[in-house]
Structure 1
Amino acid sequence: MHNSPRFTINRHLIILMPKQPVLDWIKRVDPNPPNLTLDQLRLEQNAFLISDDLDGQQDAEKWVQRRWQMFFEGFLAEWYTV
């Protein structure tokens, strides 16, 4: 038996955590808003695999900032659509 891993993942993972304005929005637009706290809202989040070409946390944050609208719209659509 050898000591090298059988599988490797050549990606980084990001998880976007909602802030208070997101919870406020959910409670404002949903006709039957759930009785959520911010901590409860943060329990189940989507994870996104991003390229391993990014060099550290700063690069990952810049990558997300350039694509924030896509992530934000996806998050809102999961919560409430008319």
Structure 2
Amino acid sequence: MYFVDRSIAVIKPKQPFLDWLNGVPENDIKLSLADIRNDCTVLMIPEVNEQEDGISYIDDIADKLFEMELASWYEDESVWPQKRTLKLFWEWFDVEIHSMLVDTLDSEIQNSPQDVIAQ
């Protein structure tokens, strides 16, 4: 085991995201908040010692995160909310910042060739 020079952020949908999701016409299955908060997106972010630094980083990439979360449910952008602001991101998502990341495996991390969140 070894410490990794990254921190993590967990993106958790809130009720407004669920309301949008359940309101999409193509959605035949009605989900609960517990359903969509059960298996959330976890991001490696730059190493931070203060929560505020992690939140600031999330603010900087919130537009890409918002799109990524929407696309994980519906790739059709026509059903996405048209005005995706930083304020709306924080209304739709909780973010947990965790400063310590430990790798428990001896094998190297394999990176995906797809650049999901390019800066």
The interval holding the TM-score normalised by the smaller chain is 0.7 to 0.9
Q: Which residue of 25, 33, 49 corresponds with 1:55?
A: 49
Higher strand share: 2
TM-score by length of 1: 0.81
Task: Give TM-score, length-normalised by structure 2.
Answer: 0.58
Report what 2:3 is aligned to. Answer: 8
Question: Which residue of the other structure, out of 36, 40, 43, is the alignment partner of 1:41?
Answer: 36
What RMSD, in angstroms, separates the aligned Cα atoms of the two structures?
A: 1.4
Larger radius of gyration: 1
Q: Specify every segment of 5 or more residues in structure 1 that has no aligned partner in the other structure, as ranges.
A: 1-5
Q: Give the match for residue 96 of structure 2.
A: none
Tell me, yes or no, if structure 1 residue 21 matches structure 2 residue 21: no
Query: Which has the higher relative contact order, 1 or 2, with Cα contacts under 8 A spaced 6 or more apart?
Result: 2
Preserved contact between residue 21 and residue 27 of structure 2 (Cα < 8 Å) = no
1:31 alignment partner in structure 2 = 26
CA distance in 1 between counterparts of 2:73 and 2:62 reads 17
- Structure 2 unaligned blocks of 5 or more: 77-119
Q: Is the partner of 1:58 in helix, strand or coil?
A: helix
**Structure with the bigger percentage of helix:** 1
The whole-number CA distance in structure 1 between the counterparts of 2:41 and 2:68 is: 10
Aligned-residue sequence identity (percent) comes to 29
Large movers: runs of 4+ above 4 Å: none
> Of 59, 75, 79, which residue of structure 2 is paired with 1:81?
75
